[in-house]
């Protein structure tokens, strides 16, 4: 009996004695031991040390996980191997030698290739591959789940990978799949309601709790699938996080059977708040014939997009370029015999491997109008997971105004990984662009936003706090009139800051003037309107200043349509008859 086997049985007996009296309790599920041929794998079923953070796909990646035989072309593999480590799962050492020869023949950089020997069932590494986290000790971990397919070899890959790389594996006890999961890196994630149906023994609240305990997810968007009854119900078939506040969603013509469901999803996400507490920026990619364009892979500064030879390929590439300026967007056709499908494409067949020692920059960007009487302070947290020191002289805020060159200000430490710098005061109304840059002694160099200058954040300086306009005067104008006739109404107000004002008239019939102006503070604003139906309407008006700061609504003016005619007013239209009747009466 080998030494490892003896250790296994000693450990097993000890655990049996310790947990024996808890066989029906949660303690019995804390640790499982899987005796492998060459090693013992310890899988920890308890939650990782808090707080937990799960990185997003668009954060730094050190590699990708793929499987032989491939579902992707050598062209894709060679492209990935230019920049990151390509980890290929092979069944045995003989198969590894075969793959190495194939890589060499097809221009793949072998210096950026390594291998994981393990049995597998399929090449869908995205669906069954490991989910990487950083635990409360700032150490990388792997969260495992029960793969939602009856493929036992695939289901073991997270544990095998963790054991191979010395990374602890935490099993969250949830049935799931990687294709049905997107996260923003800040505690917000998205799946379709497949996760509910596959975990019907758990309440939605219990699922949310597991997502928080194991992945640090504080907001879990579980949404209806938009792709119809034949879909596999994976979120990556129709939506994708491009950044913490930007979501890509497929677009189809109105005649498409899924049009209403897709547009409902767009409406939902546009109504939600991102981790920055701003509305999501929802961008679209046109997929009229169910092209798989959302099933792309973000790999550091590149975006790999599955294309099909369709007339819409160029438009899809352009959609990504517009949404992700500064990234290199590349289109790839499918491997012959392994076509891209609307439910299975590039993203499904490649799993990103998060940089274990990444240099992480956490920052909530400034936007809109920001008071800058004393300059504007930029705060950020910087975590060197490598454990190496930050290079202070190269860690800074880059900033510029329109048409000017970039300036830099060194970030100063405040303790507990917090840094700050102050952009100096500028003239009122000046637009500022900025991004954060950090370097550490491990050789890592990162930006926030990830791509740096091409996607720099922006805000506008205010030299003094801005006040909203005062309440406008009650609108003045005819209190009655004829349907179909145009009437003019006026109002005015003042702004304590002396800003110019825009006015919005609400006509009480479900329509409005839109913003009219600008007008100087105190000047009278006017707008015209005609009503198309009889009734009584309440007109009201509000104002906003040039900084988008809105004031309150005015008191309403009641207007009746049509005008009511009295008999005497009728007679006034006939003066001689009116005078004769006055004489006799």
- Alpha helix segments (H runs only) across 198-258: 204-215
Q: For 326-349, give one letter per residue: b (16+ CB within 10 A) or e.
A: ebebbbbebbeeeebbbbbbbbbb
Cis? peptide before 518, omega within 30° of 0 = yes
Radius of gyration of the chain (CA): 32
Burial group, residue 370, by CB count within 10 angstroms (0-12, 13-18, 19+): middle
Spatial distance between the Cα atoms of 250 and 345, rounded to a whole number of angstroms: 15
Query: What letter would DSSP give residue 440?
Result: B
The C-alpha torsion from 65 through 69 and 74 to 80, rounded to 10°, is 0
Side by side, the strands of the sheet bearing 169-176 are: 31-35, 40-44, 169-176, 140-147, 131-134
Establish whether 348 is a catalytic residue: yes
DSSP track, 174-210:
EEE-GGG-EE-SSSEEEEETHHHHTTTTS-HHHHHHH
Contacts of 526 (CB under 8 A, 6+ apart): 488, 489, 490
Q: What is residue 560's three-state secondary structure?
A: strand
Query: What letter would DSSP give residue 28?
Result: G
Q: Pick the catalytic residue: 113, 237, 275, 348? A: 348
The C-alpha torsion from 420 through 423 and 425 to 426, rounded to 10°, is -160
User: Structure tokens of 15?
Assistant: 């655990």
Spatial distance between the Cα atoms of 305 and 345, rounded to a whole number of angstroms: 9
Catalytic residues: 348
């Amino acid at each position: 009996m080998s030494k490892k086997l003896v250790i296994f049985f000693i450990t097993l007996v000890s655990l049996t004695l310790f947990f024996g009296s808890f066989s029906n309790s949660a303690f019995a599920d804390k640790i499982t031991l899987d005796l492998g041929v060459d090693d013992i794998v310890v899988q920890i079923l308890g939650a990782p040390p808090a707080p937990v953070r799960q990185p997003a796909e668009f954060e730094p990646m050190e590699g990708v996980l793929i499987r032989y035989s491939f579902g992707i072309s050598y062209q894709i593999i060679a492209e990935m191997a230019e920049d990151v480590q390509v980890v290929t799962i092979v069944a045995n050492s003989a198969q590894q030698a075969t793959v190495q020869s194939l890589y060499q023949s097809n221009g793949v950089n072998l210096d950026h290739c390594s291998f994981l020997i393990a049995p597998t069932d399929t090449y869908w590494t995205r669906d069954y591959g490991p989910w990487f986290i950083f635990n409360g000790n700032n150490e990388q971990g792997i969260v495992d789940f029960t793969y939602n397919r009856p493929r036992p070899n695939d289901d073991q890959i997270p544990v095998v990978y963790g054991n191979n790389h010395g990374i602890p594996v935490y099993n969250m006890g949830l049935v799931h799949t990687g294709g049905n999961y997107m996260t923003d890196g800040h505690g917000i994630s998205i799946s379709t309601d497949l996760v509910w149906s596959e975990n019907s023994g758990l309440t939605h609240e219990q699922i949310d709790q597991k997502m928080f305990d194991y992945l640090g997810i504080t907001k879990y968007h579980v949404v209806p699938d938009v792709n119809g009854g034949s879909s596999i119900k994976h979120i990556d078939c129709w939506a994708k996080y491009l950044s913490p506040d930007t979501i890509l969603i497929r677009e189809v013509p109105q005649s498409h059977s899924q049009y209403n469901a897709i547009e409902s999803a767009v409406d939902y996400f546009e109504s939600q708040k991102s981790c920055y507490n701003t509305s999501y920026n929802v961008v679209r990619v046109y997929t009229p014939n169910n092209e798989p364009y959302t099933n792309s892979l973000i790999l550091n500064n590149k975006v790999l997009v599955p294309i099909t030879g369709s007339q819409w390929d160029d438009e899809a590439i352009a959609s990504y370029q517009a949404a992700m300026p500064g990234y290199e967007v590349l289109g790839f056709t499918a491997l012959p015999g392994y076509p891209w499908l609307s439910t299975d494409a590039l993203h499904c067949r490649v799993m990103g491997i998060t940089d274990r020692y990444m240099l992480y920059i956490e920052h909530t960007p400034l936007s809109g109008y920001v008071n800058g009487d004393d300059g504007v302070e930029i705060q950020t947290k910087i975590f060197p997971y490598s454990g190496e020191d930050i290079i202070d002289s190269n860690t800074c805020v880059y900033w510029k105004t329109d048409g000017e060159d970039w300036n830099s200000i060194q970030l100063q430490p405040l303790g507990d990984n917090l840094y700050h710098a102050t952009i100096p005061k500028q003239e009122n109304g000046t637009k500022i662009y900025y991004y954060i840059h950090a370097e550490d002694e491990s050789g890592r160099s990162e930006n926030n936003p990830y791509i740096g200058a091409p996607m720099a954040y922006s805000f506008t300086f205010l030299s003094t706090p801005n006040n909203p306009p005062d309440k406008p005067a009650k609108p003045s104008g005819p209190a009655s009139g004829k349907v179909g006739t145009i009437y003019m109404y006026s109002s005015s107000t003042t702004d304590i800051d002396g800003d110019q004002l825009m006015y919005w008239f609400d006509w009480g019939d479900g329509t409005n003037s839109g913003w009219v102006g600008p007008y100087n503070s105190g000047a009278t604003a006017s707008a015209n309107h005609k009503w198309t139906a009889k009734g009584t309407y309440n007109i009201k008006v509000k104002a906003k200043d040039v900084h988008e700061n809105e004031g309150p609504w005015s008191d309403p003016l009641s207007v009746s349509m049509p005008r009511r005619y009295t008999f005497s007013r009728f007679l006034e239209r006939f003066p001689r008859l009116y005078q004769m009747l006055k004489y006799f009466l």
